[in-house]
Amino acid sequence: MTHAHPRPHLAILIAVTALGPIALNLFIPSMPGMQRVFATDYATIQLTLSLYLAGLAVAQLVYGPVSDRFGRRPVLLWGIGLYILGSVICLVAPGIEAFVAGRVVQAVGGCAGMVLGRAMIRDIHDGPKAASMLAYVVMAMVLAPMVAPTIGGALEVWFGWWASFLAMLGVGVATFLAALAFAHETHHGRLPVLGGVDLLAGFAHLLRRRRFCGYAFMVAFTGAMFHGFLAGAPYVMVEIMGRSPVEYGLYFIVTAGAFAFGNFIAGRLAGRVDGDRMIRVGLAMCVGAGTLPMLFMFADILTPATLFLPFAIVSVGQGLCMANGVMGAIGVEPSRIGAASGLAGFLQMFVGGAAAFVIGSLMGDSAAPLTIGVVIAAVLGVVVFIWGMRADPSDARLAAE
């Protein structure tokens, strides 16, 4: 890797990466009120969330390979421009249809930073340093969405729903100007122009690489523990345990803080401790602590503390796993960093979304779907990582293709 070119600062990579997730969380407190604003049902309003997530997931498959061809900087700027356009559409939308369309455009644009931030880190740094930087980026991404709903709720109460989107627009414009000045190009060896078939062939090539699958699916399954927990824990706390949403929020802060702490530790240890070793420790924490709520449930001693405190340990383990796993996945083939970043991100969101849907759909009068689902996801993460790290003679042949 050459150091002759100017490199973007960590701060701008954090800003562009957090743009999409912040917009997702800032709007959530306004969702109930939007039902009255557009005179529609809550199921339709939910589309502003579900289609936003779908846009984040699918767009990741495009940004990576396109940036491999045209460079990270121009694609990133176009993406932030789309985010700004989506915010404007939402602000001036005459009806719910246009508003939902604006949210999709906003998601597709905000997704650019999520993919290209990871790719730019890997362009300019090798394994340990890249994992360290990504860990700090993820830590910031966790902390920012934690405060975003509080800010969004205050804006909703004081000014109305439009204030949140005005804030998103302002943040988008500021981020665009900062990226224009400081998001220097990091990818200087361009690939040929790729068509749709070539894009799919590139993804198929990566999926045939055992190490890529080992890292990427490990990240996806450990992430699924978190998404599944988000889908089931509020129901268990409020409906089964009879606790208040406020109490759930307080316990969740501990969990989110533990995840940020795990990423901080991963960032500090990168370069001194092997990334795969951190992943193994993290997976052990996920399986060990993740099993405890299930055992407490069967022993009929499941409480908020016995649910959330073990999962806080799980969250620290996830922090150790995810940055190292993502950097492992997108470092398998240096010529396909963008494609690998996009595909790994898509798998993470797809598997996480599927886990959230299944666990959320199965919730009833028992916490079993949540506690058992978390254990299944943890075990699958361990299995796929062990499988992926085994020597595969075909990997050398595929890398040369």
Each residue of 292-338: pLDDT tens digit? 999 999 999 999 999 999 999 999 999 899 888 988 888 888 777 77
Q: What is the pLDDT of residue 64?
A: 79
Q: What is the pLDDT of residue 322?
A: 85
Model confidence at 141, in pLDDT bands (50, 70, 90)? low
Spell 211-221 as b/e; 16+ CB within 10 A means b.
bbbbbbbbbbb
Stated pTM of the model? 0.76
Q: What is the pLDDT of residue 192?
A: 57
Q: Facing residues of 273 across strands?
A: 270
Instruction: Mention every residue, 6+ apart, whose C-beta is less than 8 A from residue 72.
Output: 116, 119, 120, 123, 183, 185, 186, 187, 338
The two tokens of residue 17 are: 């990466």
- Tell the CATH superfamily of the 10-194 domain: MFS general substrate transporter like domains (1.20.1250.20)
Give one word for 273, left, alpha or beta, with left for phi > 0 and alpha for psi -120 to 50.
Answer: beta
Condensed to tens digits (0 to 9), the pLDDT of residues 380-391 reads 999 999 999 986
Distance (Å, whole) CA 136 – CA 268: 9
**Percentage of residues in the chain having pLDDT higher than 90:** 32
Q: How many CA atoms lie within 13 A of 21 on its CB side?
A: 20
What are the backbone dihedrals phi and psi of residue 360, each rounded to the nearest 5 degrees, phi first? -60, -40
Q: What is the pLDDT of residue 156?
A: 78
Max Cα-Cα span within the chain: 62
With 90 as the cut, is the pLDDT of residue 177 above it?
A: yes
Distance (Å, whole) CA 13 – CA 361: 36
Distance (Å, whole) CA 27 – CA 163: 10
Give one word for 137, left, alpha or beta, with left for phi > 0 and alpha for psi -120 to 50.
Answer: alpha
The CATH fold assigned to 203-400 is: Growth Hormone; Chain: A; (1.20.1250)
Average confidence (pLDDT) over 94-109: 92
Higher-pLDDT residue of 183 and 127 is 183
Domain ranges of the chain: 10-194, 203-400
Condensed to tens digits (0 to 9), the pLDDT of residues 195-240 reads 556 667 778 888 889 999 999 999 999 988 988 887 788 888 888 8
Say yes or no: do domains 10-194 and 203-400 share a fold: yes
Instruction: Mention every residue, 6+ apart, whose C-beta is less than 8 A from residue 396.
Output: none
Q: What is the pLDDT of residue 1?
A: 44
Condensed to tens digits (0 to 9), the pLDDT of residues 243-286 reads 877 787 778 778 878 888 888 888 888 778 888 999 999 999 99
Condensed to tens digits (0 to 9), the pLDDT of residues 338-347 reads 778 788 888 9
Please state the three-class secondary structure of the chain as a single string: CCCCCCCCCHHHHHHHHHHHHHHHHHHHHHHHHHHHHCCCCHHHHHHHHHHHHHHHHHHHHHHHHHHHHHCHHHHHHHHHHHHHHHHHHHHHCCCHHHHHHHHHHHHHHHHHHHHHHHHHHHHHCCHHHHHHHHHHHHHHHHHHHHHHHHHHHHHHHHCCHHHHHHHHHHHHHHHHHHHHHHCCCCCCCCCCCCCHHHHHHHHHHHHCCHHHHHHHHHHHHHHHHHHHHHHHHHHHHHHHCCCCHHHHHHHHHHHHHHHHHHHHHHHHHECCECHHHHHHHHHHHHHHHHHHHHHHHHCCCCCHHHHHHHHHHHHHHHHHHHHHHHHHHHCCCHHHHHHHHHHHHHHHHHHHHHHHHHHHHHCCCCCHHHHHHHHHHHHHHHHHHHHHHCCCHHHHHHHHC
Q: What is the pLDDT of residue 2?
A: 42
